[in-house]
Amino acid sequence: MLDVSILRQNPRLIEDTLKKRGNTSIDLNKLIELDEQIRKIKSEIDSLLHTRKVISKEIGSIKAKKGDSKELEAKVKSISLEIENLEESLSKKNEQFLSMWLLVPNLVDDSVALGKDESENVEIRRVGEPKLFEFEVKAHDEIAKDLDILDFDRAAKVSGSRFVYYKNQGAKLERALINFMLDLHTKNGYSEIIVPYIVNEDSMIGTGQFPKFKEEAYNVEGQFLIPTAEVPLVNFHKDELLSESLLPIKYVAYSACFRKEAGSYGKDVRGIIRQHQFNKVELVQFTRPQDSFDALESLTNQAELVLKELGLPYRVVMLCSGDLGFASAKTYDLEVWFPSQNRYREISSCSNTLDFQARRAKIKVKGSKGNYYPHTLNGSGVAVGRCFAAILENFQTKDGNVKIPEKLVSYYGGEFLV
């Protein structure tokens, strides 16, 4: 969440951010009004506490002299009741304020292009040339069916739509990709963590998934299946005071991810591009505030390394203000080439959330000049299923086989899917 001092000292900054994002659901004036009411009630409580303390001291003096203090005692009782009523009112106002404040998105960095939606995202660079095929290319789900490596029909019987069984060479390739990605990132300074797949509501609030996206999460008796390993990785340091000497902290985790995809009806109904359960390797960093934008470039380059090593053509896109994620101040998407669709598709999203998540998760750093909130960054390194699909399409051969990328051969244990 944002520093509340911004609301008090520079509400125009929040107003500008909401306009840039196209967000019309936040009542900023109501937030300002509630904050003023809260501060007024706190001031009244403090004043009454002081008065009660003075009177109580006076009562003590009177009693020591065997005097009559009944009138003052009645006054103390009346003040205590008033304080109790004010505290009840304060609690309700705080709850109302927080429920609204948690829905305010992060500030948009000045370097982010203004735009309404993904059509106005800005391409930064392209890496690798899409291959020109001398035969009619197949989509990844067709290739998978021919090779008998994915089973959608049985998954539908067992779990419903948007689920899949990986089998035979497909299961082997998925495992090879996960191990390849983890090794690549750990060799470059990321510490590997195996995370829980179920988290509590506070953790989802900490990373910004809740309350805004609560209806999109799978609820398991009041706890929630993770939509990304970002949630348990960032909350690994929830409620902690970290030593500045530890920064930057870099974590990598493979996990299954679970999303209802409620708003995606009719989108990507074929194949494994959009599933309710999918595998992903996630990168997370904790940095000093002054280092976070350099860290975003570094994290993005690290995610790109997966695609470079595998020889997959891709591009880097900076998201415009209207397409920016709720918790992010700046985001780069990596989009990999899908020849069957003749376009690039998202395979990674790399974001700088500034201190937005650290404030929500109550993560602080002990610095030489006092405690402060670190900046957190996250990025896919990368979505495994989409990488799997991109390999099938970009490395398909005329005879119906799939060539394994050179850097993946030792992990897979062969040169072709046949």
The reply to whether 262 sits in an annotated binding site is no
The reply to whether 260 sits in an annotated binding site is yes
Q: How far apart are CA 169 and CA 156, in angstroms?
A: 21
H or E element that contains 375: strand 375-383
Q: Is 126 designated active site?
A: no
Q: How far apart are CA 206 and CA 216, in angstroms?
A: 16
The reply to whether 390 sits in an annotated binding site is no
Active-site position among 126, 274, 288, 315: 274
Active-site position among 69, 321, 349, 351: 349
Alpha-carbon 6 to chain mean position: 22
Contact 145, 169 (CB under 8 A): no
Active-site position among 52, 162, 360, 386: 386
**What's the one-letter identity of residue 369?**
K
For residue 72, count CB atoms less than 10 angstroms from its CB and return exposed for 0-12, middle for 13-18, buried for 19 or more: middle
The reply to whether 364 sits in an annotated binding site is no
Active-site position among 162, 259, 345, 360: 259
The reply to whether 378 sits in an annotated binding site is yes
The reply to whether 229 sits in an annotated binding site is yes
The reply to whether 228 sits in an annotated binding site is yes
Q: Is 119 designated active site?
A: no
The reply to whether 282 sits in an annotated binding site is yes
Q: Is 349 designated active site?
A: yes
Q: Which is it for strands 314-318 and 122-127: parallel, antiparallel or unpaired? A: antiparallel
Active-site position among 201, 288, 346, 359: 346
H or E element that contains 241: strand 241-243
The reply to whether 159 sits in an annotated binding site is no
Q: How far apart are CA 249 and CA 247, in angstroms?
A: 5
List phi, psi (to 5°) of 72: -70, -35
Binding site for ATP: what residues are annotated? 259-261, 346-349
Binding site for L-serine: what residues are annotated? 228-230, 259, 282, 378, 380
- Active-site positions read 259, 274, 346, 349, 386
Binding site: what residues are annotated? 228-230, 259-261, 282, 346-349, 378, 380
